[in-house]
Amino acid sequence: MTAPPAVCEMRPAAELLRVDNLQTEFRVEEGVVRAVNGVSYTVDEREIVGIVGESGCGKSVSQLSVMQLVRRPGRIVGGEVWFEGDNLLKYRANGSEMREIRGAKISMIFQEPMTSLNPVLTIGRQLTESLELHLGMTKKEARARAAELLDSVGIPGAEGRLDDYPHQFSGGMRQRVMIAIGVACQPKMVIADEPTTALDCTTQAQLLELMLSSIEGCQGALVLVTHNLGVVARYAHRIYIMYAGRIVEQGLCRDIFYRPRHPYTIGLLKSVPRLDEERGRRLVPIAGTPPNLIDLPPTCAFLPRCPVAGERCRLEPWPDLEPIDGEGHMARCYMMEATGE
């Protein structure tokens, strides 16, 4: 990992999205799972925000909740999602307001390129349907624009490939198509949910660069959901670290990487190799396993795995986010003096 680039510096920009105390739960036969347990974050225009956490920490569900794409047995049970002056959660999931936003103002790029495209429709059709719907293009216009989009994501022979089917593309190319679909209508914000996890490393890097330049090209913001620290280190302006359905630490990119305060964040960083440290350091994995989210106790969810846990942590409920230093750097921990050295 290289040092976070200078773009990390905060610049004044308008707030685009504000998620306030979002709560989403799943009712399964064993109990109730609070996948998203009071998550709040903001995204500014043209900003790149990283949401980092292990599988199952609720990061994907939180994004699906923003778009109101959560399906049974999941349900959004609380919170507000402010976008362009409106609380999106007060609209019906299938209502015209949400439909106008999806794909046009906020779009999403999913993790699995192999299954995220409809196998019986041509790639061209899957591109043009957004264009025709949101931008009111005619068939001809949409087709031309689709070819341009495919070209811009680096698919050779774009025009000819419009009539091909997804299974005729490799995984990497399918994800490029997903990026094309994501930016087709020039949305204000793109949510990318683990966009490169299913790909090999060389492709990963290429795809990320492509995604960023595409989104930059349409002046959009990006929410990058991932468990890969390396990815956010390079690109994100601000980062939110999630654990067991809550944000445990948030801040500017450099604060998170150089001055982490939550034991989980520290553990994550320790378990990843870094170029700027001496060779031979052993990677330290975080002890234990991710928690069972069914009927969580009110105490800190990281408690069983925390190396610096104290009495307070065992007795009192999980604390709120407390500001630390830097701009917007906050963490949710009783033992921050211990980690602050």
7 phi and psi angles, rounded to 5 deg: -65, -10
What's the min distance (Å) between Cβ of 179 and other proteins?
13
What's the min distance (Å) between Cβ of 109 and other proteins?
9
Secondary structure (DSSP) of 84-153: TTEEGGGS-TTSHHHHHHBTTTEEEE-S-TTTSS-TTS-HHHHHHHHHHHHH---HHHHHHHHHHHHHHT
Are residues 226 and 298 in contact, defined by beta-carbon separation less than 8 angstroms? Answer: no
108 is a contact residue toward other proteins (CB under 8 A): yes
Are residues 335 and 341 in contact, defined by beta-carbon separation less than 8 angstroms? Answer: no
271 is a contact residue toward other proteins (CB under 8 A): yes
Task: Select 4 or 291, whichever has its Cβ closest to other proteins.
Answer: 291
Stretch that binds other proteins, among 100-108, 138-146, 230-238, 313-321 (CB under 8 A): 100-108
What's the min distance (Å) between Cβ of 182 and other proteins?
9
Task: Select 14 or 94, whichever has its Cβ closest to other proteins.
Answer: 94
Whole-angstrom distance, CA of residue 37 vs CA of residue 62? 9
143 phi and psi angles, rounded to 5 deg: -65, -40
Element (H, E) at 315: helix 311-315
Q: Which of residues 274-293 bind other proteins (CB under 8 A)?
A: 284-293
98 is a contact residue toward other proteins (CB under 8 A): yes
Here the tokens at position 155 are 């698919």
What's the min distance (Å) between Cβ of 155 and other proteins?
18
Q: By CB under 8 A, name the one of 24, 60, 128, 130 that touches other proteins.
A: 130
Cα–Cα–Cα angle for 294, 296, 299, nearest 5°? 170
165 is a contact residue toward other proteins (CB under 8 A): yes
Are residues 154 and 210 in contact, defined by beta-carbon separation less than 8 angstroms? Answer: yes
Q: By CB under 8 A, name the one of 46, 134, 261, 329 that touches other proteins.
A: 134
What's the min distance (Å) between Cβ of 194 and other proteins?
12
Q: By CB under 8 A, name the one of 42, 45, 99, 269 that touches other proteins.
A: 99
Contacts of 106 (CB under 8 A, 6+ apart): 17, 66, 67, 83, 187, 188, 189, 190, 191
Whole-angstrom distance, CA of residue 283 vs CA of residue 295? 32
Q: By CB under 8 A, name the one of 34, 46, 102, 237 that touches other proteins.
A: 102
Beta-sheet strand order (sheet of 86-87)? 31-44, 15-28, 74-83, 86-87
Q: By CB under 8 A, name the one of 7, 10, 13, 28 that touches other proteins.
A: 28
Stretch that binds other proteins, among 81-89, 160-168, 203-211, 313-321 (CB under 8 A): 160-168
327 is a contact residue toward other proteins (CB under 8 A): no
129 is a contact residue toward other proteins (CB under 8 A): yes
Look at the alpha carbons of 184, 185, 188, 193 in this order and tell me if their dihedral is positive or negative: negative
What's the min distance (Å) between Cβ of 215 and other proteins?
16
- CA distances to 6, 12, 19, 319 from 9, rounded to whole Å, are 6, 10, 22, 29
321 is a contact residue toward other proteins (CB under 8 A): no
Stretch that binds other proteins, among 126-134, 200-208, 214-222, 251-259 (CB under 8 A): 126-134
213 is a contact residue toward other proteins (CB under 8 A): no
**What angle do helix axes 139-152 and 123-135 make, rounded to 10 degrees?**
120
Q: Which residues bind other proteins (CB under 8 A)?
A: 26, 28, 30, 33, 54-56, 67, 69, 71, 94, 98-104, 107-108, 110, 112, 115-121, 129-130, 133-134, 165, 167-168, 178, 181, 270-271, 284-294, 307
